[in-house]
Homo-oligomer: A and B are copies of this chain.
Amino acid sequence: MKPVPISEKMDLKAYLEEKRTRINGALDRFVPKDQEYPPDLHRAMRYSLFAGGKRLRPVLTMAGCEAAGGDPEAALVPACAMEMIHTYSLIHDDLPAMDDDDLRRGMATNHKVFGEALAILAGDGLLTLAFGIVSEPAASALTERIRLQIVAELARAAGCRGMVGGQSVDILSEHAPEIDVPTLEYIHTHKTGALIRGAVRIGALAAGAGEETMTALTHYGDRVGLAFQIADDVLDVIGTEKELGKQVGHDRKRGKKTYPGLYGVAESRDRARELATNAVAAIGNLGSGAEPLRAIAHYVVERVN
């Protein structure tokens, strides 16, 4: 395993650790405990939420807030909402009717443990709770205007013109005889990209960012989002080649259309690195508060899992 790349200007590993601890603590407070009735539903919601995710999206929200000149703590509640939406999307994506996955991060998927009905409801519950925590008066010190902007941004990023739209095209394109480049790009920019772009933008909203900063951070988010998806697809191919007994990648077996499938691994990697460089360039005018975002852009394409 390659070590996690450390930026020259900051200790990214320590930064990620600290933010993950903050996010995990807050998520634990926001989601009803197992003991609260009905226990099975809450257990199912917590199972996937605390299944060892990297917390990339909520970290991007807090780092986006810092890059826009805000206190990253101000973005903690919307960051948790982001992670709830990400987790709900994984639970629903893993369902038999969708990607039909039994394992995620080495653990049984939600419906394998709790059954399909509860998995559907746990996803529905997490999606709804995301909007709940941002809108509840007690949840954060952000102004009402900003919290409403964040609700709107969450809905745009996650909805039928964002993530859900991308997921629908991805599912319908499986096993299609061929797929054109615009369709592949639509899937990437929507299925994964929309939520990553939204994560960064929501951080900027929490900081009360002006138009220029928002535009820069949006460009950053778009590029990191696509870089992340390409890196993910490459990992699917590379990871599988390392394991004996599996001849083809997960995505390919399923007929998924991917970047490496279309352009090969080497060109895909180059493209991901180029996108990370462009993402960093997009926030060149932001000060030292943007260092975490700069380090994360490189981390996203060099990560090994």
CB of A91 to closest CB in B, whole Å: 10
Provide the main secondary structure of the chain A interface.
helix
- Top 7 closest pairs, chain A to chain B, by CB: A132-B155, A97-B116, A125-B160, A135-B152, A128-B159, A41-B168, A135-B151
Contact indicator per residue, chain A 267-278, by CB within 8 Å of chain B (1) or not (0): 000000000000
Choose among B38, B128, B161 the residue that contacts A158 (Cβ–Cβ < 8 A). B128
Name the residue of chain B whose CB is nearest to the CB of A161.
B32
Q: Are B132 and A156 in contact (CB under 8 A)?
A: yes
Number of copies: 2
Please tell me the number of chain A residues within 8 Å of chain B, measured between CB atoms.
52
Choose among B152, B164, B172 the residue that contacts A136 (Cβ–Cβ < 8 A). B152
25 example contacts (A-B, Cβ-Cβ < 8 A) are as follows A32-B161, A37-B186, A38-B165, A41-B165, A42-B160, A45-B160, A92-B120, A92-B121, A97-B116, A97-B117, A98-B117, A98-B120, A117-B171, A121-B164, A123-B124, A124-B127, A124-B164, A128-B155, A128-B158, A129-B160, A131-B154, A132-B152, A132-B156, A135-B155, A151-B151
